[in-house]
């Protein structure tokens, strides 16, 4: 496996353009957590012309509902959730500046089109590696919708958060290319 690319948030168009499907990356900086209920609220705020709880420009949203933090740790297990549940909301968030999403599973055609049009990337995180992923999270703070519990929006400080580029802005799709390469072997 090739060396992982180290990238820092917020993501720029240049960073996103330099990523290719299959690239291993280590993300450092700030990322946000949000799942479907929080996504709906964000989209509603955009549609109502209201201010969001964080700046979408260059942001990365991790689809996770982390476990409670054990004593001495900033967060509990933090494995990715299935991404397609955010597909109804992701295109509008991408249009308003979100540059990265982290989750598991394939994305729908509307999300892929928005990624290509506006410059965003989808990273796959390893399902089943929640405790390992949590080690990359150095700080976690609820910044919006605490009443959603585990699904509240959190600001995470991450260092070398491991993931793989699953969909890039060039039309690459790991969920298509990966099985095709395997079939050739």
Instruction: Please identify every residue annotated as catalytic.
Output: 39
User: Read out DSSP for the chain?
Assistant: -PPPEEEESSPPHHHHHT--TT-EEEEEEEEEE--HHHHHHHHHHHHTTPPPSS--TT-EEE---PPPPPTT-S-S-----BGGGGTTTHHHHHHTT--EEEEBS---HHHHHHHHHHT-EEEE--TT-HHHHHTTEEEEEEEE-GGGGGGSEEEEEEEEEEEEEEE-TTS-BHHHHHHHHHHH-
């Amino acid at each position: 496996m090739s060396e992982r690319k180290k990238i820092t948030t917020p993501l720029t168009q240049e960073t996103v353009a330099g990523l290719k499907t299959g690239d291993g990356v280590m993300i450092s900086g700030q990322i946000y957590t949000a799942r479907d209920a929080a996504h709906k609220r964000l989209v509603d705020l955009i549609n109502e012309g209201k201010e969001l709880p964080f700046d979408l420009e260059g942001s990365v949203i991790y689809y996770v509902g982390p476990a409670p933090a054990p004593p001495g740790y900033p967060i509990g297990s933090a494995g990715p959730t299935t991404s397609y549940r955010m597909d109804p909301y992701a295109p509008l968030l991408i249009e308003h500046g979100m540059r990265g999403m982290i989750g598991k599973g394939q994305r729908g055609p509307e999300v892929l089109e928005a990624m290509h049009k506006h410059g965003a990337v989808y990273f796959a995180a390893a399902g089943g590696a929640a405790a390992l992923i949590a080690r990359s999270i150095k700080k976690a703070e609820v910044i919006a919708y605490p009443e959603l519990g585990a699904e509240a929006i959190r600001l995470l400080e991450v260092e070398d958060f491991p993931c793989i580029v699953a969909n890039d802005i060039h039309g690459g799709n790991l969920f298509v290319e990966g099985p095709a390469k395997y079939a050739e072997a």
